């Protein structure tokens, strides 16, 4: 559960910085680019080891590449 919570928090932190527009932006044309910019900016403030860890967690969530990421994505949609 700790890893799932961490995935959700990192994902939401990036969305908060980028602007979580899924509800009112019908086109969603720049969502990925906006979130990528936000992730790079936010994580660049961290020490390198944390930066790498957080970028990897953010990517895992976005790609749903682990069982924990798939599970976390369910909660993100609620």
* C-alpha to C-alpha distance for 56 and 52, rounded to whole angstroms: 6
Neighbour-count burial of 44, counting CB atoms closer than 10 A to its CB (0-12 exposed, 13-18 middle, 19+ buried): exposed
The answer to whether position 56 is within a domain reads yes
Q: What does the pLDDT read at residue 19? A: 80
The answer to whether position 70 is within a domain reads yes
Q: Pick from 78, 59, 58, 66: which is nearest to 13 by CA? A: 58
The answer to whether position 57 is within a domain reads yes
Q: Pick from 32, 8, 9, 37: which is nearest to 21 by CA? A: 32
The answer to whether position 39 is within a domain reads yes
Q: Is the pLDDT of residue 29 over 70?
A: no
The answer to whether position 6 is within a domain reads yes
pLDDT in tens, 47-62: 999 999 999 999 999 9
pLDDT in tens, 5-28: 999 999 999 999 988 666 566 666
The answer to whether position 49 is within a domain reads yes
Number of domains composing the chain: 1
The answer to whether position 60 is within a domain reads yes
Total-model pTM = 0.83
């Amino acid at each position: 559960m700790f890893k799932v919570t961490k995935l959700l928090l990192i994902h939401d932190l990036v969305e908060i910085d980028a602007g979580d527009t899924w509800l009112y932006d019908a086109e969603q044309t720049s969502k990925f680019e906006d979130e990528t910019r936000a992730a790079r900016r936010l994580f660049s403030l961290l020490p390198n080891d944390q930066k790498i860890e957080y970028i990897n967690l953010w990517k895992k969530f976005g790609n749903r590449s682990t069982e924990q990421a798939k599970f976390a994505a369910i909660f993100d949609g609620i």
